[in-house]
Structure 1
Amino acid sequence: MRIVVLHSNANYLVGLRLPLMRELTKLGHEVVAIAPNMSAEHLDTLRKCRIDGRRCDLDATGFNPIVDLKNTWSLVALLKQLQPTVILTNTAKAVIYGTFAAKLAGVSRRYALVSGLGYAFTDDGKVRNWRKVFVRTTMSALFSMALRLNRGVIFQNRDDLDELCSKLICSRNQAHVVAGSGVDLDEFGYRRRDRAELNFILVGRLLMEKGVKNYLEAARLVKSELPQANFLLVGDFDSNPSALTFDSIQSYLQDGTVRHIRGVTDVRPWLYQAHIFVLPSYYREGVPRSTLEAMATGLAVITTDTPGCRETVSEGVNGLLVNVRDTRSLASAMIKLGSDFDLATSMGQASRRLAEKRFDVNLVNHDMCRIMGV
């Protein structure tokens, strides 16, 4: 079969979906990866894996209907040229306009991967955010039209499935759940930590909804109780509407309590320095890949009791769940694990076992292939 995988961002397409695409090629299928901002480096990486990379026009965050319509027709032309047997679309814009384009191009086997509901469906705690109300209403209507044109809709957590099905945006007959994107357990190997240091780490895009400011504020509280603790913030600024700016976090970095690391292409050296992984997110995650990578390396996890995030923690076994936007609750959990090296170590070991049992990328890819019938 010729299988197209369409994403709205080449970095995430290559970074998150490459294991799946490589598995599809191992099964004897011809794979075409399509995304905007596809660089020569992306194309070279795909070529080495015997995957055909193609560029397309797809505005991931904009809301210009003329631009979206133009880009959809460009996708129709590309898909008519490629004539794939199967198309898998991923991320909101790709699912919506990619599905419409595939329908118009005559691609009969259409599948959508909903890897989190993102900005539009994230509760930011404000009484009324008219922009978000407009975006959510529009996205719900477009999702409702697009998802029903797919043979299968694949979710990464049960909460997202239940929400879209309860709102009649998706039919339960189409819906499937897989355990996130999975993690390569060989690439992210387990390592026991040294007792000599105490390092907390947050890895992720610098978005308000990722709980970055809660982490920065909690670090100050934890530092007063555990002066030996260090705090790493690994991630870059983003174009998302809720992205933080350098000025908005500078005051938290000036005193040296938190170290901000940017431009990281391989997070493993930073994870291996850490003892406890923190992600106080209330973003509508699928299952956070950063948390899975931390679990695979043997880190205890502190995260929020929210869709996607809660999938990664068995309370009290491999980590702790805290309330969203609750800095004191977060700091308390960080102090609890930071004060007990043996507890953090045993939870880190449990994280690795959970990653092996449930989040192994090979298990996830097997499920994806089964659902798509390939």
Structure 2
Amino acid sequence: MKKRVLLVSDFHANVYGWRKEIIESMLSAGAEVALAVPYGEQLEYFREIGCKLFDVKLNRKSTGLANNFSLLNQYKVVLKQYKPDLALLYGSKGMLYTGYHCKRMGIPYFSNINGLGTVETMGFPIKQVILTLYKMVVPGATCVFFQNRYNMEKLEKIKLINKNYRLIPGSGVNTVKFKALPFPTNSETRFLFCARIMKEKGIVEFIEAARKLCSEGINAKFDVVGMYDDEFSEKLINDNKDILAFHGFQKDVIPFIENTNCVVLPSFYGEGISNSLLESAASARPIITTNMPGCRETVIDEKTGFIIEPQNSDSLYKAMKRLCKMSLVDQEKMGLAGREYISEKFSRDIVVKAYMEEYKKVFN
């Protein structure tokens, strides 16, 4: 009889972009796989290859009791209907709420700590509630996957993990899909911000640095790819369209990476490992990012890009100006060095191998 695996995530594009190879490997190993994810058209690929879909209604940012109890119950219903032999849990709410039920029902589950996100910046009492849920769920996991060492050591320190856990290189990057792209030969230097449009991702600092470069007459262009996170971010973009080219959420970011000289992520968010940085570096583009967990790991400072201080638009401006002053040849060399580094340390194959090793332990 086939083993049943349930994958839980909060966004359909994340499953298609970052979990596809894990799902395919488990199907190849003879498992039956179901997905509990808010529906999006990219999930049709998984239906076509034999996966079952459960459409979960999820408001990622909601802290209201009614919405969260509804979500908690939705996951319970899915678990009772599907009766999985193993659950793969991604995203804070999916991991905590489904993990809570799995623990009570005796279902093995893998927790993926893909960054502590806005938990790091939350105030009391919400932060305390979330940490309490972590203490209930994480120690009961069959395996805990950490995407960066900072988060792993933080949970070690508070004795939240005490058995099987391992460090993986984020979600990894598919270095076949994200191959080294030809370097642009435009007369201007193009910078790309590719992330959710939110304060914590550093969009304010990006705009401030861009404005300073423009005020100095530097020949640079600034592209933004990503979905709005809230009304503030939408207003911010609309108020700065005189210097920004805004492209919204894109299923395929490769054409935008190909057209840029450098990808910028001035994040002070609790990242796991930034996927946009992995994909950009794998595509042979220099990157500029912050000295924050989940960002700094993707760069060899001065060799594959530049590491700046978080929440510091002047530090970002100086790094972007340095990039503008580099020749196209030197920019391309920096990008190719990043491609080599990422291919060796952050391949998706490493992540798939780790998951399949733990999968085989569960099912002997």
What is the TM-score with the length of structure 1 in the denominator?
Answer: 0.90
Identity value in percent: 25
1:314 matched to 2:300: yes
Structure 1 residues 168-223: Cα deviation after superposition (integer angstroms, max 9, x where no partner):
3x214333110011111121111231333321111010010100010111012223
Distance 1:261 1:372, change over 3 A: same
1:249 paired residue among 237, 246, 249: 237
1:235 paired residue among 226, 238, 248: 226
* Amino acid paired to 1:62: S
Q: Distance in 2 between matches of 1:23 and 1:295?
A: 25
What is the TM-score with the length of structure 2 in the denominator?
Answer: 0.92
Specify the alignment match of 2:117 in structure 1.
118
Q: Distance in 2 between matches of 1:60 and 1:251?
A: 26
Cα shift at 1:19: 2.2
Q: Distance in 2 between matches of 1:313 and 1:160?
A: 18
1:364 paired residue among 346, 351, 360: 351
Specify the alignment match of 1:126 in structure 2.
none
Structure 1 residues 90-110: Cα deviation after superposition (integer angstroms, max 9, x where no partner):
111111110111123331x21
Does the 8 Å contact 2:139/2:162 carry over to 1?
A: no
Q: Distance in 2 between matches of 1:371 and 1:308?
A: 23
Cα shift at 1:56: 2.9
Structure 1 residues 109-163: Cα deviation after superposition (integer angstroms, max 9, x where no partner):
21101111111214xxxxxxxx633221111111111111212111100011112
Deviates more, 1:64-73 or 1:15-24: 64-73
Cα shift at 1:225: 4.2
1:174 paired residue among 164, 173, 192: 164
Does the 8 Å contact 2:16/2:43 carry over to 1?
A: no
Q: Distance in 2 between matches of 1:43 and 1:356?
A: 27
Deviates more, 1:308-317 or 1:46-55: 46-55
Q: Distance in 1 between matches of 2:245 and 2:69?
A: 43
Specify the alignment match of 1:156 in structure 2.
147
Cα shift at 1:348: 0.1
How much is the aligned-residue C-alpha RMSD, in angstroms? Answer: 1.9
Deviates more, 1:177-186 or 1:98-107: 98-107
Q: Distance in 2 between matches of 1:149 and 1:64?
A: 26
Q: Distance in 1 between matches of 2:209 and 2:295?
A: 19
Specify the alignment match of 1:16 in structure 2.
18
2:274 paired residue among 288, 296, 309: 288
Structure 2: 5+ residue stretches without partners: none
Question: What is the total number of aligned residue pairs between the two structures?
Answer: 357
Specify the alignment match of 2:46 in structure 1.
46
Q: Distance in 1 between matches of 2:264 and 2:276?
A: 10
Alignment of 1:322-361 (within 5 A): 322-341=308-327, 342-361=329-348
Specify the alignment match of 2:181 in structure 1.
191
Does the 8 Å contact 1:87/1:111 carry over to 2?
A: yes
Specify the alignment match of 2:62 in structure 1.
62
Structure 1 residues 293-330: Cα deviation after superposition (integer angstroms, max 9, x where no partner):
10111100110000100110111221110001111111
Deviates more, 1:267-276 or 1:43-52: 43-52
Q: Distance in 1 between matches of 2:343 and 2:118?
A: 30
1:301 matched to 2:290: no
Task: Tell me the SS of whatever aligns to 1:373.
Answer: helix
Q: Distance in 1 between matches of 2:102 and 2:278?
A: 32
1:259 matched to 2:213: no
Structure 1 residues 250-300: Cα deviation after superposition (integer angstroms, max 9, x where no partner):
33222xx22111132211111100011111000000011111110111100
Structure 1 residues 209-249: Cα deviation after superposition (integer angstroms, max 9, x where no partner):
1000101110122234462211111112025xxx7332233
Does the 8 Å contact 1:277/1:291 carry over to 2?
A: yes
1:28 matched to 2:30: yes
Cα shift at 1:81: 2.6
* Amino acid paired to 2:343: E
Q: Distance in 2 between matches of 1:290 and 1:263?
A: 13
1:132 matched to 2:119: no
